[in-house]
Amino acid sequence: MSAAPHISVLLDEVVQALDAKPGDVVVDGTFGAGGYTRAVLPTGAGVVAFDRDPTVRQFAEGLPADRFRLVQARFSEMLDELGPQSVDGVMLDLGVSSMQLDQAERGFSFMRDGPLDMRMADTGPTAADLVNTLDQTELARILYVYGEEHASRRIASFIVRRREEKPFERTLDLAEVIERAVGGRKGAKVHPATRSFQGLRIAVNDELGELEAGLAAAERVLKPGGRLVVVTFHSLEDRIVKAFLAERAGRTPGGSRHAPPVAATAAPSFQLISNKAIAPGEAELAVNPRARSSKLRAAVRTDAPVWEGAA
């Protein structure tokens, strides 16, 4: 088996929040290099792992066949695979893994030259397809909404003008055009292409739609008393998870003079383990700087029915 280059973020905190017991069944919704799975298996629980990336299968070698199974699918498909109220825990580690970023041929990185791909699986349009075919308005929208890039319109205009001369095929080619669009790095700590590449990656893989569908699926597969633990890596993901858990925990807005109170539409299906997100400590950040933006949120499934028709 290849050495796993990915360091699992907030690993101890995830295991503690999950609180798995011998005989439990836990879903690892984003198997990756298997870091969370390997930390949970010693508790005596079994793990059903999901990952749409076919290259992660190598990291499943040597795991106990009687307590581990890897399913090559999106984590939003866990309900179809497992059925309702069938598991005791669901853990999700969102975003792109270090090993995906570090493999130039995957096309995720603006620091390594490779094909402009960014797909986590082998199907669907690539990042090159998006930047070479979308109109300028839609391209700017993706960069602004998913990448939180405030120079999205200018970057989109530079991309559209350049692709008229030659289509984009390589990551560094696109990164250089983005850098020119925003006027270079000017001593910035963050590469000027960071947000644009994030936006394209999220669009290519429908990451936010997958997250919303995955949270809804987790609500359905968890038994009463089961735990949902989610690690996010940027504000878009965290806002979705925070809003989902707050709503399902019955924490609806109290209203103000500008807006009436919002009434809870169903009994709370989750109870929050902590009111605030858990962030990595300085010791972890010293070992793994990529963990800096990560947050952990967790909740316990109640015995209330699933929220049908909720957003």
Q: Kindly tell me the sign of the dihedral angle through the C-alpha atoms of 145, 250, 278, 298.
A: negative
The structural architecture, per CATH, of the domain 11-98+207-301 is 3-Layer(aba) Sandwich (3.40)
Q: How confident is the model at residue 124 (pLDDT cuts 50, 70, 90)?
A: confident
Residue in the block written with tokens 């990560």 = 294
Q: Write out the two tokens for 192.
A: 């000027």
Q: What is the DSSP string of 120-161?
A: SSS-S--HHHHHHHS-HHHHHHHHHHTT--TTHHHHHHHHHH
Q: What is the pLDDT of residue 299?
A: 98
**Extents of the domains making up the chain:** 11-98+207-301, 104-205
Does the pLDDT value for residue 92 go beyond 90? Answer: yes
Q: What is the pLDDT of residue 108?
A: 60
Mean pLDDT of 99-103: 52
Q: What is the pLDDT of residue 162?
A: 97
Mean pLDDT of 75-79: 97
Cβ atoms of residues 157 and 135 within 8 Å: no
pLDDT digits (tens, 9 = 90+) for 160-179: 999 999 999 999 999 999 99
Q: What is the pLDDT of residue 311?
A: 46
Q: What is the pLDDT of residue 3?
A: 43
Q: What is the DSSP string of 187-198?
A: T-SS-TTHHHHH
Q: How confident is the model at residue 251 (pLDDT cuts 50, 70, 90)?
A: confident
Does the pLDDT value for residue 39 go beyond 80? Answer: yes
pLDDT digits (tens, 9 = 90+) for 258-296: 555 555 568 999 999 999 999 999 999 888 887 888 999
Q: How confident is the model at residue 143 (pLDDT cuts 50, 70, 90)?
A: very high
The DSSP symbol for 96 reads -
Cβ atoms of residues 21 and 43 within 8 Å: yes
Q: What is the pLDDT of residue 185?
A: 65
Cβ atoms of residues 98 and 40 within 8 Å: no
87/198 Cα distance (integer angstroms): 32
Q: What is the pLDDT of residue 4?
A: 46
**Domain 104-205 = CATH 1.10.150.170:** yes
120/123 Cα distance (integer angstroms): 9
Q: Write out the two tokens for 14.
A: 């995830």
Q: How confident is the model at residue 6 (pLDDT cuts 50, 70, 90)?
A: low
Q: What is the pLDDT of residue 96?
A: 63
Q: Write out the two tokens for 282.
A: 């300085």
Q: What is the pLDDT of residue 37?
A: 97
Per the prediction, the chain carries an average pLDDT of 89
Q: What is the pLDDT of residue 104?
A: 53
69/294 Cα distance (integer angstroms): 27
Q: Write out the two tokens for 12.
A: 């101890």
Does the pLDDT value for residue 255 go beyond 60? Answer: no
Helix, strand, coil fractions of the chain, as percent rounded to 5? 40, 15, 45
pLDDT digits (tens, 9 = 90+) for 204-248: 999 999 999 999 999 999 999 999 999 999 899 999 999 999 999
Cα 53–Cα 245–Cα 14 angle in degrees, nearest 5: 55
Q: What is the pLDDT of residue 254?
A: 46
pTM: 0.88
184/200 Cα distance (integer angstroms): 20
| More confident: 203 or 254 | 203
When mean pLDDT is compared across 81-95, 248-262, 271-285, the lowest value belongs to 248-262
